[in-house]
Amino acid sequence: MPIRVAIVSPEQEVWSGDADMVVARTTDGDLGVLPGHVPLLGVLVPGGTVRVKTGGREISAQVDGGFISVTRQGVSILAETATLSS
């Protein structure tokens, strides 16, 4: 069962969709989120990367600060700035 993910900055929604796993670097260390993860709120490190694994591919976004929020509804990456990596 996939988890719903949204990566947003104040200017735009950078990416959203269903994923198998999300990995983000927080001030407490790397955080891996799978479906069914307990709710939490984490602080993203400046200049970090968020990786979203979906199907057989991986989507990466460069984020600069912000938060990761995990709820029963999914994962929200609320970054000060966010851009998809090519």
Mean pLDDT, the chain, integer: 95
- The boundaries of the domain holding residue 42 are 3-84
Give me the phi and psi of 45, to 5 degrees please.
-80, 150
Q: What is the pLDDT of residues 24-63, one digit of tens each?
A: 999 999 999 999 999 999 999 999 999 999 998 999 999 9
Q: What pLDDT does 85 receive? A: 87
Which of 61, 4, 77, 13 has the alpha carbon at shortest distance from 36?
Answer: 4
Q: What pLDDT does 63 receive? A: 96
The tokens describing 65, both together, are 């600060």
CATH number of the CATH domain containing 14: 2.60.15.10
Count structural domains, the chain: 1
Q: What pLDDT does 20 receive? A: 97
> Where in 1-86 does DSSP place strands (E)?
3-8, 13-19, 21-26, 29-33, 40-43, 48-54, 57-71, 74-84
